[in-house]
Structure 1
Amino acid sequence: MARSHWPRRLPRELEIPATSLWFNLEVAARRHPDKTATLYCGAALSYAELERQALALAGWLQAQGVQAGDRVALFMQNCPQFLVAFYAINRANAVAVPVNPMNRVDEFGHYIRDPETKVVICSADLAAIVAAANEALPAEQRLRALLVTSYADALPPDGIPSELGLPEAMRQWLLAEPALPAGAQHWVDALAAGQRPGPHTAQADDLALLPYTSGTTGLPKGCMHSNRTLMANACGGAQWGMASAESVGLAVVPMFHITGMLYGVLGPVYQCMTLVIMPRWDRELAGQLISRYRVTHWTCIPTMIIDLFGSPNYKRFDLSSLFYLSGGGAAMPQAVAERLQQEFGLTFAEGYGLTETAAPSHANPPERAKLQCLGMPIFGVDSRVIDPVTLAEMPVGEVGEIVTHGPMVFKGYWRQPEATAAAFIEIEGKRFFRTGDLGRMDEEGYFFITDRLKRMINASGYKVWPSEVELLLYKNPAIQEACIIASRDDYRGETVKAVVVLRAEARGTTTAEDIIAWSREHMAAYKVPRIVEFVDALPKSGAGKVLWRVLQEREGQALP
């Protein structure tokens, strides 16, 4: 493979530490005990305190019966408690299961049942969802414990500084103290219990993280990541992005997401960075925080940059401290990238990766980035472009399926040996992951994506899997059949469209707004169809299979 433009400052491969992720926090707390690990709405948490809280929580988890290899779910928005909980789970030799906080009751039960979750750690505003999902399960599948934190637990004792300019709705949300479900335990009490964990026995190849990704069929699947697969990108990110203990990162990509996990939980602790945590995206707040705390590193999705530029105040923000700006999930529009260069001298370094690759497997070197480009394979990664049918390698410039071999590639899907076997192929004695993405490689070794083999909708970086939305829609008593397709959206890139056949008794009385409102109650907001089209029948094959491609192509032809 052409690697003529590999940055001379970087090694081709890394010596990946053979330790657990907990060890990274232990080292950071010894090296920089008083250094600020997180800044959250004006509250600073030192590395020593982060370690102290994580140890106390690890002891509490083990007191609930959590043993090595058990699964503990994390269900909350970005906050310091997320880091504390993740490292406590790792210290307890257990496995973290991050869950999108936009999930509803109908969806959350899967994250208890499938991984056999023992404990859920969640925010107070989501506790009722966990309790309801748990109650709906058979007794033998239910949780051992539910631990609940209020966002206020991590806020400054004297209140959120007014000069930060938090939106009033966000301030009220953070200060809210919803009632806890019966039997739930409070975060503050768990830390105050003073329980000490037993020996830390987790090894590099032990399972550490089980993030879920939806497939083209069925329910979301758990991706098995070990300490070692996660460590590959935790330490690789520092070298690629020129980060160090002197760096200040902005954590706004959701931490439950593999990108937010890497750049908001794993990488910063390995690098001993200071992390400015945003609980939710708000463009004015982002501008204020970058300016106030002199943020140097920001990984985001392009829609955030677009939104920031849309602020009437953006020219007042001092973005001069920004040194490394990266992201993915959607292509960066050329006009926006050019504005970044012209107005701020910043290059947006796009990257590419999947949950199965612990975020990046490809990245653009900031010193020579290309637009609308996935970048080049990073440390120790071998990526090829193959014919998805014959599996033969394609010539440079020809389109095929991107397949990847590297130290960050996951071990397989949780308890799904058939899906795991289908996800990998062997080339020249090496195990390559089939990404399901169609792309090409240019003569300089940079990769470009052209299409997707899998049926995925990419809405502002959120991955929406039509089959999952369809399964939920079929619970609506007014719907006889449904097919989910992508529709073009100027802001989100793509948005979700439902093509629906109503039951006879619902025709004439059920509106598109009714379907959308029902969806908001039963699924995460980013999955909710923004457009609903009623039809008399869906196109089907001779075997009765819905021909979603026909609808998708028709949608493309109908758009100007």
Structure 2
Amino acid sequence: MSNLHFKHWPRGQSHHMTLPQTSLSYNVEVAATRFPDKPFIIFYDTPLTFAQFKEQTEHIAGWLEHECGVKAGDRVLLYMQNSPQWVLAYYGILRANAVVVPVNPMNLTDELRHYVEDSQAKVAIVPQDLYANLAPLVGDGPGQGIEKVLVATYSDYVKQASFITPPPFVSAPREPIDDAAVTRWHDMLDARHAPGPVTVGPDDLCVMPYTSGTTGKPKGCMHTHRSVMATLVGGVNWFCTSPEGVHLSVLPLFHVTGMQGGMNCAIYAGATIVILPRWDRDVAAACISHYKITAWQCISTMMVDFLSNPRLGEYDISTLAAVRGGGAAMPDAIVKKLFDLTGLEFVEGYGMSETIAATHINPAHRPKPQCLGIPVYDLDARIIDPGTLAELPQGETGEIVVHGPQIMRGYWRNPDATRDAFIEIDGKAFLRTGDLGRVDEDGYFFMIDRLKRMINASGYKVWPAEVEAMMYRHPSIQEVCVIGSNDARRGETVKALVVLNPAKVGSVTEQEVIDWAHANMAAYKAPRIVEFVSALPKSGTGKILWRQLQTQENERQSATAAEGTR
């Protein structure tokens, strides 16, 4: 590994980081002891102090242990929008010595089934507006499915009038749910169960975010308290986060970037988070002005939307001291617009579910645009030839591989995928990222292309094989190939090339397939474009040549763009 980047290292910081030998739940105990009366969470003007937060996480843990029989290492599903309950549930699960399985709230029943079956979770924590999606999986056969459900109502944590109006799904009152498996959140708190002792340590499993890939089925990334601590403590140190910080938490908390940057780092530092359950550019700007937000982690599509708001000048956003994010490169014009408006540089980073957020971050004092950044503390990052696996010199393009304390232990119950994900170099296990990159003369890493087949739609990773597997359930589809198509707002969007069953030709429309997809899978995965074709190109072994179709799409769009400039 090259040390070129050390000359641009954050000032006054060591290259090495000593990690705490504790569990994440201990961070809550420390923050509540240091700052008991300080607001940790603000949700539509209703504060939740660190002391209140600690007390409620313990009641959740006690309920899990006493009412659900949850034991150390058991997995618990967390399926919810950003909210105080999401954060409380996460730390309640950890306090019960269990493992959090965070699930995108956009997922529907058929998608949820895989998470339940694969993780072997018996308990789920959900909001009332999403319970119907989970209900078919409750008691789903003898010894299978979810046995106990804790159901939250978002409005329970909106206890005073807010300067902004909460959306209807947040302000909705409690609704009756007639199911013996269900315990309502307020009843759980009223029971005031006390948990047993913390028995887990740094090498025990902590959280299991799911990611997909070429196989189509999402895989659980096994992260320990130590690996999660690596990126959360690293983030606090890199950005010098202090207890005086006020963070806008609008990135989804189920995703590792939002989980670490918008929640875990703040607890460790004793900072305050302002939670928004969904993106709204006016609400975000109003919150920055009203709460004097100092730090905001976002994705490029959010920033593009934020800066294009014609009303932005009505808000005072001068308290912002740091804006950072990743997911996709920030366009040059947006970087300049942000700097001209605020004097702030956008600091980009790079990571993945397998690394529980960042492996590379730009130095805050010297960021480069459209750049992944430099390797963080104790990380060995190299560029290798993806064929020969030989390390390549500075400037050449190859696959990015990483070794460090934040790397997952492997994929849950999937030894074959785990074996394929790692290679050994110099006696160390390196994770193959599947991303092609290069290193410049300063030691900064840049993304060039992808080896893996993935679509980046508004910062969400969409794995075509997973979408294809879902679409094959449509009775009219004989064959399908999913590719990415450029989109001015989302960066990329999902396109499906479909061969219909001969008997169905003429009786189903492309729009009907689009509508079916949106009704059967998360909105960000569902194809926005469907094109009927008579056949799909195949290799000699019968495999669909998706890369050829992707290249044709890219060339078609490039030609269209060139024509439009004439």
Shared fold by TM > 0.5? Answer: yes
Shift of 1:23: 0.2
Shift of 1:138: 2.9
2:183 corresponds, among 182, 185, 188, to: 185
How big is each residue's C-alpha offset from its partner over 1:314-346, in whole Å with a ceiling of 9 and x where there is no partner? 112211111111000011000010011111101
Shift of 1:165: 5.0
Aligned positions of 1:66-465 closer than 5 A: 66-134=70-138, 137-156=140-159, 158=160, 160-161=161-162, 163-166=163-166, 170-171=167-168, 173-180=170-177, 182-183=179-180, 184-465=182-463
- Find the aligned partners of 1:188 and 1:484 in 2 and give their Cα distance: 44
Shift of 1:505: 2.3
CA contact (8 A) 2:371 2:444 kept: yes
How big is each residue's C-alpha offset from its partner over 1:436-468, in whole Å with a ceiling of 9 and x where there is no partner? 000101111100001111100001110000000
- Find the aligned partners of 2:170 and 2:30 in 1 and give their Cα distance: 35
Shift of 1:493: 1.0
SS at 1:49 equivalent? helix
Shift of 1:384: 0.3
* Residue matched to 1:41: 44
Q: Which runs of 4+ in 1 moved over 4 A?
A: none
CA contact (8 A) 1:225 1:410 kept: yes
CA contact (8 A) 2:129 2:169 kept: no
- Find the aligned partners of 2:479 and 2:176 in 1 and give their Cα distance: 39
- Find the aligned partners of 1:364 and 1:432 in 2 and give their Cα distance: 22
TM-score, with normalisation over the residues of structure 1? 0.97
Gaps of at least 5 residues in structure 2 are: 561-566
- Find the aligned partners of 2:138 and 2:473 in 1 and give their Cα distance: 19
CA contact (8 A) 1:404 1:435 kept: yes
- Counterpart residue identity of residue 182, structure 1: D
Shift of 1:172: 5.1
SS at 1:298 equivalent? strand
CA contact (8 A) 2:307 2:338 kept: no
In 2 relative to 1, CA 284–72 (structure 1 residues): closer, same or farther, beyond 3 Å? same
- Find the aligned partners of 1:370 and 1:176 in 2 and give their Cα distance: 47
Shift of 1:179: 4.0
In 2 relative to 1, CA 504–177 (structure 1 residues): closer, same or farther, beyond 3 Å? farther
In 2 relative to 1, CA 458–364 (structure 1 residues): closer, same or farther, beyond 3 Å? same
- Counterpart residue identity of residue 457, structure 1: I
CA contact (8 A) 1:297 1:324 kept: yes
CA contact (8 A) 2:138 2:147 kept: no
- Find the aligned partners of 1:265 and 1:419 in 2 and give their Cα distance: 30
How big is each residue's C-alpha offset from its partner over 1:154-174, in whole Å with a ceiling of 9 and x where there is no partner? 112x4x42x3255xxx14553
Query: Paired residues, what number?
Result: 553
Identity %: 51
Pick which of 11-20 and 422-431 moved more: 422-431
How big is each residue's C-alpha offset from its partner over 1:98-146, in whole Å with a ceiling of 9 and x where there is no partner? 00000001100111110100210011111111111335x4322122201
- Find the aligned partners of 1:178 and 1:355 in 2 and give their Cα distance: 35
- Find the aligned partners of 1:188 and 1:506 in 2 and give their Cα distance: 51
TM-score, with normalisation over the residues of structure 2? 0.96
- Counterpart residue identity of residue 83, structure 1: V
CA contact (8 A) 1:127 1:181 kept: no
Pick which of 455-464 and 503-512 moved more: 503-512
